[in-house]
Amino acid sequence: MSRSSETLFDQVCRHARQTSLLRSIEDVLGWDEQTKMPAAGAEHRAEQMALLAGMIHQRRIDPDYGARLAELAEGPLAADLYSDAGATIRRLKRDFDKKAKLPVRLVEELARTTILAQSAWLKARAEDDYASFAPLLEKVFDLKREEADALGGGACRYDALLDDYEPEMRTEDMAAVLSALRAELVPLVEAIVASGRRPDRSILTRGFPIDRQKALGRELAEMIGYDLARGRLDTTGHPFCTTLGPNDCRIAIRYHERDLGSAVFGVLHEAGHGIYEQGLRTDQYGLPLGEAASLGLHESQSRLWENLVGRSRAFWQFAYPKVQSHFPDALADVSLDDFHFAVNDVRPSLVRVEADEVTYNLHILVRFELEQALLDGHLTVADAPAAWNQKYRDYLGIVPPSDAGGILQDIHWSAGLVGYFPTYALGNLYAAQIFAQAEKELGPLAAAMAAGRLRPLRDWLTANVYRQGRRCSAGKLVERLTGRPVSHDALIQDLRTKYEPLYRL
């Protein structure tokens, strides 16, 4: 077909797919940077990334493309609420309108400032010197405020930023569901601490040769359905999952000889993200129906496989003998029950990324509440460390001895990721609600997991979640699928069912 005979819809899709192709080149460079690139290559890589980022932004706000989209959005294709084409047009139009509101100057200034802020953050964290980072953090929040105003989030600035990660989610609704969660979690954590029961965590730190851990990692990833023929498992400093193309979704994790849990739950988590990506429609690659609905929904899939499957006793009934066969010296004398208790150790700690599944959401609450206050100007950057420590005391009963182990622990704010944190907690809520619905439709899953039969669950998720792409918002998808809006109920129910017997509450 010649260009001239292409329909308007085809032209718009070609433009959007080519933008996605460029984005995937950015992702190839990003994967290389995090797995293979020598540190000396960083400067040249930053130049490559900046050039690509500029090209991608230009394509996204291209006026011809915008005009074609506007024409399509008025036409009959877009009005069809059920067709793929209608959903595609509506989503592309929404993306365009949002990006087009951002002045190029602001996009560039944010890029420059966050690069500087990230290196200031790295140094401040290493030297436990919050004051040296504070001016850049202030600059980042100033720019994010400007961004929120440009996007016009209505009465609430945070709405505009949250929408980047969780489209159509409102701050008010997010806050309501998270504070209901907090009201249940704080006393649950207190009861667990007061129980005096503690698993023997030392069984996970006995010494596990890295090459055996790598073999186990591949086995576990494949066991839950991550397809290594369309992916890879590599080693990195910070675990991640990235998609480079319709048949190329890669995961990477880290290994520590004296911490088996890091690799085991790292791989289950990242493979969970990978299973979502590998379950997307390849015929829609580069278009909204071939993309994940939101960060919260993405995280729900990593958490579902990591926690609801991967920390269940049923799963380990099947998988633990395989772990033992990899590490006969370390684990021959460790029972299934002791292993299961050790991987479900709950205790308040200071570091989010090392938190267990019960206390984890309280770490998120602290960040969610503080970043809203910083954005609104209710809290100054100078007062933020004290506010951080107070919230840790209130929610977790512990106080960081230093800012390095407190407010300086996460990269997000320095990278301009404001509004990102709550999607982690939302992922846990979505996961529990989706898993409960799967059990309602498929029947209890414990017996299947104990037999290593995970295919029915994966197929159900593929049909009901993955292949829906971005047809509607994640919140709507979960509501339609489970019959109710997202709430804390299913997660609290799961946590009680598991932890009350473990800690004899």
**Torsion sign (Cα): 254, 260, 262, 267:** positive
Min dist CB 273 to Zn ion, Å, is: 6
Q: Is 170 helix (H, G, I), strand (E, B) or coil?
A: coil
Residues tagged active-site: 270
Size of the site for Zn ion (CB under 5 A): 1
Min dist CB 278 to Zn ion, Å, is: 15
Stretch that binds Zn ion, among 302-310, 332-340, 358-366, 385-393 (CB under 5 A): 302-310
Nearer to Zn ion, 299 or 494 (CB): 299
Q: Which residues contact 275 (CB under 8 A, 6 or more apart)?
A: 224, 225, 226, 301, 305, 458, 461, 466
Q: Where is 43: in which H helix or E strand?
A: helix 42-60
Does residue 171 bind Zn ion (CB under 5 A)?
Answer: no
What DSSP assignment string belongs to 405-464?
Answer: TTTTS-STGGGT--S-THHHHHHHHHHHHHHHHHHHHH--SHHHHHTT--HHHHHHHHHH
Nearer to Zn ion, 341 or 420 (CB): 420
- Nearest alpha-carbon partner for 54 in 110, 10, 127: 110
Does residue 242 bind Zn ion (CB under 5 A)?
Answer: no
Stretch that binds Zn ion, among 23-31, 299-307, 356-364, 455-463 (CB under 5 A): 299-307
Task: Give the pair of three-digit tokens for residue 32.
Answer: 């290389």
Nearer to Zn ion, 88 or 302 (CB): 302
Task: Give the pair of three-digit tokens for residue 418.
Answer: 């404001």
Stretch that binds Zn ion, among 248-256, 298-306, 330-338, 343-351 (CB under 5 A): 298-306
Stretch that binds Zn ion, among 74-82, 242-250, 252-260, 294-302 (CB under 5 A): 294-302
Euclidean distance between CA atoms 445 and 453, whole angstroms? 9
Nearer to Zn ion, 302 or 409 (CB): 302
CA dihedral defined by 305, 251, 267, 307, rounded to 10 degrees? -20
Min dist CB 307 to Zn ion, Å, is: 11
Within 462-481, the residues that bind Zn ion by CB under 5 A are none
Nearer to Zn ion, 298 or 391 (CB): 298
Residue with the CB atom nearest Zn ion in the bound state: 302
Min dist CB 428 to Zn ion, Å, is: 11
Min dist CB 217 to Zn ion, Å, is: 16
Q: Is 19 helix (H, G, I), strand (E, B) or coil?
A: helix
Does residue 302 bind Zn ion (CB under 5 A)?
Answer: yes
**Residues of this chain that bind Zn ion (CB under 5 A):** 302
